[in-house]
Amino acid sequence: MGNTLQLLNWLSRMRPPAASAALVLAAVLVSVVSTPQPAQAQTFATLHSFAGYDGIAPMAGLVQDTDGKLYGVTSQGGDNDTYCHGVGCGTIFKITPSGTFTSLYSFCGFQCSKTNFGEYPYAGLVLATNGDLYGTASSGGANEDGTVFNFRIADGTPTLTTLHSFDGTDGATPVAGLVQATNGDLYGTTSSGGANDDGTVFKITPTGTLTRLHSFDGTDGETPVAGLVQATNGDLYGTTSSGGANDDGTVFKITPTGTLTTLHSFDGTDGETPEAGMVQATNGDLYGTTSGGVGTVFKITPSGTFTTLYSFCSEKNCLDGRSPISAGLVQATDGKLYGVTSQGGTNDTNCEGVGCGTIFKITSSGTLTSLYSFCSLAACADGSYPVGLVQYTNGDFYGTTEEGPSCDVGCGPNYDGTVFSLSVGLGPFVETLPTSGKVGAAVKILGTDLTGATSVAFNGTVATFTVVSGSEITTTVPTGATTGKVMVKTPSGTLTSNVTYRVP
């Protein structure tokens, strides 16, 4: 589509002065809690600084795989730097929790064969139940409208397979990640294309059969740039960055078969321009962010009751952060929601005068605590403009920054982005893949130091299991199992799942 490059430029440089024009800054929103709490003790580490050949500008967070590594993408850079306007077409990489980095794949392979390969992956990867990783490329493919791809490492060899090339009618320019629903299909959005060129919602099977479920028309939203989340009621929830009753974006739900309902239209006073996906918390409510103006944190019930929890820039000079552009929230094992802002923080004189971004936590009632301000190290060696956050099963958080070290404060060896970790003292846990299933369903359990595990139980019901490695256990839902936490006994202690496993 003709708007692909413009959209990519918008996404990769969404900050003043460009951001002010793109987001159409509006009135400062009212905050439930106006003063963030003092920062808690934490340990921050920069694990990797990108240098162009191994990637430029990661625009999404990371995902933990069964091998215990974290996998991610960069939107530019890589070995094919002579293509894609001289900046490279993007990469896939993996990194260990301690920082050992490996570049796995450079997009635009085989000299940019458009029939097979995508370019500019802006969205993070998702780990499917079959053990493969799936993602989207915002451009390239057979029609230059982007792709959906499968990525796996078999016998040590990374292999990328293009599953679908968008053609405009079924969507174009996918900049959001995928989610695997309980029916096994993957669901996602495209930011343009469809019947009205306002974006689409689609589903695709793990083998590549794609179905367009909905075409936005402006009145029900347009330009969805965030991924979907499947709630416990089975419906999928998402946001559009514009459109709706006030052209400030929407929150919607859609059934797995394609019936869409607009739940909320932003009007500026309650936020605008939601660009990140939502998360369903353990209390059943959905939580998300808006990036327009100064940015907000909001919650919405599955039926559509909306509440603005926090408005950023509540502190002078936006010391609490502003504009959480492309990063959603994650609920950690302490029950708090953690996220990042792409601007603001205590280093407000750096990064074009708007601050380099923050890491924060917020309670479900709206009390915000600032944890870390980027560009705290010399020459912004810790990075700037964070774009993603995930809690690894060792309890720590891992994320990426779009830039850093920063030329605004003196260039280091590169300024192409970083991978970082943040420890706030939370303990290890396990997570299940998937998070629900009937008796007899296969389940993967991800964790750390699982070697020597002696017991696996689903809400107290003991299950048979196999320890595959120190980071993976395979099991099945045992007869008599009921909805509840999964617990794994190891030589170092008992680990509990981060979310409840649901047994229908």
Q: How far apart are CA 249 and CA 218, in angstroms?
A: 9
CA 359 vs CA 15, 32, 114, 409: distances in Å: 17, 19, 39, 21
HSE (side-chain half, CA atoms, 13 Å) at 189: 33
Residue 10's pLDDT is 43
Residues 6+ apart with CB under 8 A from 90: 55, 73, 74, 75, 76, 77, 78, 84, 106, 107, 108, 119, 120, 121, 137
Percent pLDDT > 70 in the chain is 87
471-481 pLDDT, tens digit each? 999 999 999 99
**SS3 of the chain: helix, strand, coil, percent, to 5:** 5, 40, 55
Residue 407 vs residue 276, higher pLDDT:
276
**The pLDDT of residue 244 is above 50:** yes
For residue 374, the one-letter residue type is F
User: Encoding tokens for residue 85?
Assistant: 């306007």
Q: Please state the pTM of the whole predicted model.
A: 0.91
Q: Where are the domains of the chain?
A: 30-43+277-287+302-412, 431-496
For residue 402, the one-letter residue type is E
pLDDT band for 354, please (50, 70, 90 cuts).
confident
pLDDT band for 36, please (50, 70, 90 cuts).
very low
Are 48 and 95 in contact by the 8 Å Cβ rule? The answer is yes
Mean pLDDT of 112-121: 73
**The pLDDT of residue 11 is above 90:** no
Mean pLDDT of 139-147: 92
pLDDT band for 112, please (50, 70, 90 cuts).
low
Residue 32 vs residue 411, higher pLDDT:
411
Q: How far apart are CA 371 and CA 70, in angstroms?
A: 22
Q: How far apart are CA 82 and CA 90, in angstroms?
A: 12
431-496 CATH: 2.60.40.10
150-183 pLDDT, tens digit each? 999 888 899 999 999 999 999 999 999 999 999 9
Residue 317's pLDDT is 86
**The pLDDT of residue 316 is above 70:** yes
**The pLDDT of residue 19 is above 70:** no
Residue 154's pLDDT is 82
Residue 239's pLDDT is 98
